[in-house]
């Protein structure tokens, strides 16, 4: 049995299960179900419209993060459906990919909901991946890295092609969802901690909870492919992955500096750099690769937000312990 390149796998036969961990991710995703309309945007609308409540820098930061995430979610969804799903034929892994695809649709819907309720100009938000260089650079980095897998004649036959496929998984799961999302998460949650735009902040908390599962699934998928195809995991390939992570960290730091200039939210640019480096080391460790930066987490409140099983109490409009189903532990 193997998770890719297995001509004996019938994608229609999910039982008996070969990879119980993949099914666990599906159950965990379902237990975390939410929709953006469950979060009230009333206070956000008032704050957004109140003259002078938000500084112009804070307004720009919010717009930039909506701009980055709105297109990044679509890119991620397309990659699942058009690239990953084709090559991962194992049925329980596919079951999770369907769930992840649905969650990306929820995330796409979240940014539609935010644009609609705040009355934002969609042409401005949805064009930021063309008009804001540090957003464009992040998207282009992932798109370039994963291009070969979108060739309709691409297969995962042989070690070179398997490496190409793993490069795609690194690009989306580890770099896009695991690094490029995290400065934005920290900015929006820092605003929420100051009671600013708490509706959007809560939506970002839900998205972050989903993304932490996507990232963990992606890493387990990469490790399974690696264990089943040990020949791909050469020193040169490991060095290449570390190099990609370093380049991604540089792009994410540039984005953080541009979107959140010094002194905003009580956080300075240096702390954002430190946070991005800390996050990147966690991703490398998850892939059994050596740490590069050796930084401490400057935002203890972020690790609380990511590690807790945060659920919403729909009656009190705040995040508490509430889950619709089973629980999953990983790591
Ligand atoms: Mn997403
Ligand atoms: Fe995701």
Banded model confidence at residue 321, pLDDT cuts 50, 70, 90: very low
The alpha-carbon radius of gyration of the chain (Å, integer) is: 20
CA of 209 to the centre of ligand 2 (A): 10
Homologous superfamily assigned to 10-327: Ribonucleotide Reductase, subunit A (1.10.620.20)
Q: Which residue has the higher pLDDT, 328 or 293?
A: 293
> Which ligand is closest to the CA of 107, given by its number?
1
* Mean per-residue pLDDT over the chain, rounded: 90
- Given a cut of 70, whether residue 279 has pLDDT beyond it is yes
Which among 265, 170, 295, 276 is positioned nearest to 226, based on CA atoms? 170
> Which ligand is closest to the CA of 184, given by its number?
1
The confidence score (pLDDT) of residue 265 equals 72
Q: What is the pLDDT of residues 22-46, one digit of tens each?
A: 999 999 999 999 999 999 999 999 9
Residue of 113, 126, 172, 275 with catalytic role = 113
Q: What is the pLDDT of residues 58-95, one digit of tens each?
A: 999 999 999 999 999 999 999 999 999 999 999 999 99
CA of 234 to the centre of ligand 1 (A): 31
Written as six digits, the tokens of 19 are 């990879």
Q: Which residue has the higher pLDDT, 39 or 306?
A: 39
Dihedral pair phi/psi, residue 309, rounded to 5°: -85, 90
CA of 68 to the centre of ligand 1 (A): 12
Q: What is the pLDDT of residues 208-240, one digit of tens each?
A: 999 999 999 999 999 999 999 999 999 999 999
The confidence score (pLDDT) of residue 93 equals 97
The confidence score (pLDDT) of residue 263 equals 62
- Given a cut of 80, whether residue 157 has pLDDT beyond it is yes
CB of 165 closer than 8 Å to CB of 149: yes
> Which ligand is closest to the CA of 106, given by its number?
1
Q: Does the annotation count 113 as an active-site position?
A: yes
* Across 160-172, average pLDDT: 97
Domain ranges of the chain: 10-327
CA of 38 to the centre of ligand 1 (A): 17
Q: What is the pLDDT of residues 96-118, one digit of tens each?
A: 999 999 999 999 999 999 999 99
Task: Tell me the percentage of the chain whose pLDDT exceeds 70.
Answer: 91
Q: Report residue 261 CA to chain centroid gap.
A: 23
CA of 101 to the centre of ligand 1 (A): 9
The confidence score (pLDDT) of residue 262 equals 63
The confidence score (pLDDT) of residue 6 equals 79
Residues with C-beta atoms within 5 A of ion ligand 2: 177, 211, 214
The confidence score (pLDDT) of residue 312 equals 46
Written as six digits, the tokens of 155 are 């297969």
* Distance in angstroms (rounded) separating the CA atoms of residues 96 and 106: 15
CA of 233 to the centre of ligand 1 (A): 28
The confidence score (pLDDT) of residue 304 equals 74
The confidence score (pLDDT) of residue 111 equals 96
- Given a cut of 50, whether residue 51 has pLDDT beyond it is yes
* Distance in angstroms (rounded) separating the CA atoms of residues 210 and 93: 17
CB of 242 closer than 8 Å to CB of 292: yes
Q: State the alpha helices, DSSP H only, in the chain.
A: 20-31, 42-49, 56-79, 85-87, 91-118, 122-125, 128-131, 133-146, 158-169, 182-193, 198-228, 235-259, 269-286, 300-307
Angle 287-6-83 (CA atoms, 0-180°, nearest 5)?
A: 60
CA of 178 to the centre of ligand 1 (A): 11
Q: Which residue has the higher pLDDT, 327 or 278?
A: 278
- On the question of a cis peptide bond just before residue 23, with omega within 30 degrees of 0, the verdict is no
* Distance in angstroms (rounded) separating the CA atoms of residues 291 and 242: 9
> Which ligand is closest to the CA of 172, given by its number?
2
Written as six digits, the tokens of 162 are 């398997």
The confidence score (pLDDT) of residue 330 equals 41
> Which ligand is closest to the CA of 108, given by its number?
1
CA of 99 to the centre of ligand 1 (A): 11
Q: Which residue has the higher pLDDT, 177 or 330?
A: 177
Beta strand 311-313 pairing with 318-320: antiparallel
* Distance in angstroms (rounded) separating the CA atoms of residues 43 and 40: 8
């Amino acid at each position: 049995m193997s998770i890719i390149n297995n001509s004996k796998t019938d994608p229609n036969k999910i039982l008996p299960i070969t990879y119980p961990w993949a099914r666990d991710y599906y159950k965990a995703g379902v237990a975390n179900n939410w929709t953006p309309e469950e979060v009230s945007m009333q206070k956000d609308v008032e704050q957004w419209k109140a003259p002078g409540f938000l500084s112009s820098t804070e307004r720009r930061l919010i717009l930039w993060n909506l701009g980055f995430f709105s297109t990044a979610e679509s890119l991620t969804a397309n990659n699942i459906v058009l690239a990953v799903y084709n090559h991962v034929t194992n049925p329980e892994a596919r079951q999770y990919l369907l769930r992840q695809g649905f969650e990306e649709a929820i995330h796409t819907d979240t940014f539609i909901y935010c644009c609609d309720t705040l009355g934002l100009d969609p042409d401005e938000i949805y064009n930021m991946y063309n008009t804001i260089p540090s957003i464009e650079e992040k998207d282009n980095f992932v798109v370039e890295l994963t291009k070969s897998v979108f060739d309709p004649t691409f297969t995962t036959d042989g070690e070179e092609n398997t490496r190409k496929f793993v490069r795609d998984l690194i690009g989306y799961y580890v770099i896009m969802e695991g690094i490029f999302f995290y400065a934005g998460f920290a900015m929006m949650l820092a605003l929420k901690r100051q009671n600013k735009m708490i509706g959007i902040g809560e939506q970002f908390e839900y998205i972050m909870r989903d993304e932490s599962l996507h990232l963990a699934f992606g890493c387990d998928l990469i490790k399974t492919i690696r264990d089943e195809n040990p020949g791909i995991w050469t020193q040169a390939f490991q060095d290449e992955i570390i190099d990609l992570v370093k380049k991604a960290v540089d792009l994410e730091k540039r984005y953080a500096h541009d979107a959140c200039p010094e002194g905003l939210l009580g956080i300075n640019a240096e702390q954002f750099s430190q946070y991005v480096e800390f996050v990147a080391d966690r991703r490398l460790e998850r892939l059994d690769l050596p740490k590069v930066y050796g930084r401490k987490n400057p935002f203890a409140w972020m690790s609380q937000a990511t590690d807790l099983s945060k659920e919403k109490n729909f009656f009190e409009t705040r995040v508490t312990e509430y889950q619709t189903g089973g629980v999953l532990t990983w790591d």
